[in-house]
Structure 1
Amino acid sequence: MTLSERIPPPPAPDGTTTDGRDATAIVFPGMGPSSFAEVGKFLLLDPYARKRLAEADEALGYSVFDRFRTSEEDYSVHSQIAFLVNSMAMADRALDTLGLSPTVCTGPSFGQKAAAAFVGSLPFADVVRLTADLARCEEEYFSGAYEDVVTHSFVRTPQDRLDEILAGFDDRGAWYDVSGRLDAGFHMLSVREKELDGLKAAISAAGGYSMYSMRPPVHAAAFGELRHKAEAEVFGGYELADPSMPVVADQDGTVVRDAAGMRTMMLDTFDRPVHWPSVVENLMGLGVRTVCVTGPDNLFHRLDLTKDSFQVHTVGLPRKRSRERERRA
């Protein structure tokens, strides 16, 4: 059975379908490295990407493509906008070529931005401007606070072994914050950079495997001041609307149905950890059995929890050669 044959009717008020058929959710992934060498050709040639890129250019008043081409950082403001453009372009393609008609939406971490545009809480042009404003806000914040902190992701580490590792931090008075749980044994932990080697050694001793470290760090309770800064200096300039469909928040699986909830979810990303198991649980509670991940995703569609819970479809960039480097969840 094709995805188009599984398209559900409009959702009931609780987000489920009304005739017993499975619901479909669209998932916008968190951001990974997005260098010009990898995605520049796609932005130039793909018709869906060209259209979204033109909208981004108009919103910002300059050529995103030209500035992205000269950017040297994976998470520069223009890298972030390019990732947003590509995520939305792949959603456009999914709607056109798969006949996709989702009744639920979610967007872990950076994916919240594309999700906000997709459900109509903000026009795409506003999301482009918001992305640029938030990138500069974060850069300014981390230039004077938590400059020595990274967020480290690792797998195959059961919760009881992680508890032992964290107890060691507590015993020696070392700072840390839990930044996310993505799957069984898959964790994100923010630590001082001087603690990173010891953390990696402890993970290995527990039978786990270190994946990557992110700089600047993300989703930590300690970043409350960044949240306040973003709320005061950035979000005040944007008026969100109620989403056109339920949105499942990536922090705890809360089902968001109004503008206030969307604003809270997007602010929560600064100082609350991602918890993908809660997202999966509540998607299933809304009747979702099929998810379509649209965007340059190297992570969420591959998680065991995702694959075991749903029929998974991906609409992403042409497959690129994998590399071991830092990426942002």
Structure 2
Amino acid sequence: MTIAFVFPGQASQYVGMGKELCSHFPEAAAVFEKADTVLGFSLSRLCFEGPQEELNKTAITQPAVLTTSIACLAVIRKAKGPVPVAAAGHSLGEYSALVAAGSLSFEDAVRLVRKRGQYMQEAVPLGEGGMAAVMGLSSEEVAAVCREASTAGVVEAVNLNCPGQVVIAGDTAGLKAAGPLLKEAGAKRIIPLPVSAPFHSSLMVPAGEKLAKDLDAVAIADPSMPVVANVSADYVRTGPEVKASLLKQVYNPVRWEESVRLLAAGGIQTFIEVGPGKVLSGLIKKTCREASLYNVEDLASLEKVLALTKEVS
């Protein structure tokens, strides 16, 4: 059995994430404690108790999802669970994948995604931009509509998630103009996402410029296992490649469907989503129907993954 770990991004957050594992595993609790210390506020309290509105603010969401994912990873490792041969993460989840691969320290990663979230929010004031999932159209069809709607404002196809699901991002005017055009083109549904900025769009270039300085200040090692970069849908194998991909990722599309296909073509049969929710599992199932899918976010899901390890040992 060939396994990849995949790590979720924004829109996977929920109040209570990580709490059960922390109450049973000191290794998970230690990750949250480390995040609280590094950030200088109680991220753990926000994850465990909310409120959801605060957890949805991007400068909170990004370190919160990363911390929960790495806490789940710590538990898998302590329990001698499955060992992956490759990793990938969706948007901010790429930082979690790089921590798993030893390319970034957890402390540096949690600082970076906190700043990344702040810079992204500063690039477009709250309420002036957003994102929406478009169901039922191909990425090419969505891109064509975005080009048509761009006379009204900025709107771009930014998350190429799976067949029939593409996320768009832009300013309020661009998103408003795109809605009717997407429906005319045959979109089945358009779902606004619980995020507070138009991530991965060209509006994020100022955020990338700020993040570049922070990336220059941290040590980035060669990954210990192949990690798929969002921006290229290809493996990054050296520290310099990692740094370049994280920078471009801020203002370029997340090529998730292609990333999953790359892993599957390389022999990955089983995907384990490490962190809150099952968003990525749903996307992977639509891309690779034959894939085996698991997740780890609480005791019940952990037990299923550990049982899987015993089956193949």
Paired residue for 1:203?
182
- Contact between 1:203 and 1:209, CA under 8 Å: does it hold in 2? no
Alignment of 1:40-79 (within 5 A): 41-42=19-20, 45-47=23-25, 48-66=27-45, 72-73=53-54, 74-79=56-61
Paired residue for 1:183?
162
1:316 maps onto 2:297 in alignment: yes
Paired residue for 1:151?
131
Structure 2 unpaired stretches of 5+: 301-313
Match of 2:232, SS? Answer: coil
Paired residue for 1:39?
17
- Contact between 2:142 and 2:157, CA under 8 Å: does it hold in 1? no
Paired residue for 1:244?
224
Paired residue for 1:218?
199
1:124 maps onto 2:106 in alignment: yes
| Cα distance, 1:242 vs structure 2 | 0.7
Paired residue for 1:235?
215
- Contact between 1:81 and 1:132, CA under 8 Å: does it hold in 2? yes
| Cα distance, 1:183 vs structure 2 | 1.0
- Contact between 2:12 and 2:279, CA under 8 Å: does it hold in 1? no
Distance 1:161 1:84, change over 3 A: closer
| Cα distance, 1:248 vs structure 2 | 0.8
Match of 1:292, SS? Answer: strand
TM-score, scaled relative to structure 2: 0.82
Q: Which has the higher helix share?
A: 2
2:5 corresponds to which letter in structure 1? I
For 1:114-170, what per-residue CA distance to the aligned partner results, in whole angstroms no more than 9, with x for missing partners? 112111112112212222232333333334xx9622222111123564355235325
- Contact between 1:108 and 1:249, CA under 8 Å: does it hold in 2? no
- Report the Cα distance in structure 2 between the residues aligned to 1:123 and 1:265, rounded to whole angstroms: 17
Distance 1:288 1:136, change over 3 A: same
- Report the Cα distance in structure 2 between the residues aligned to 1:279 and 1:236, rounded to whole angstroms: 26
Distance 1:211 1:264, change over 3 A: same
Aligned length: 293
| Cα distance, 1:78 vs structure 2 | 3.6
Distance 1:174 1:216, change over 3 A: closer
- Contact between 1:241 and 1:259, CA under 8 Å: does it hold in 2? yes
Paired residue for 2:124?
142
- Contact between 1:49 and 1:85, CA under 8 Å: does it hold in 2? no
| Cα distance, 1:25 vs structure 2 | 0.8
Name the larger-Rg structure. 1
- Report the Cα distance in structure 2 between the residues aligned to 1:300 and 1:167, rounded to whole angstroms: 28
Match of 1:314, SS? Answer: strand
For 1:36-85, what per-residue CA distance to the aligned partner results, in whole angstroms no more than 9, with x for missing partners? 4x337437524243121122233334433346657642135344322222
Q: Which of 5, 16, 26 matches 2:5? A: 26
| Cα distance, 1:30 vs structure 2 | 1.4
- Report the Cα distance in structure 2 between the residues aligned to 1:193 and 1:80, rounded to whole angstroms: 23
Structure 1 unpaired stretches of 5+: 1-5, 7-22, 320-329
Paired residue for 2:280?
300
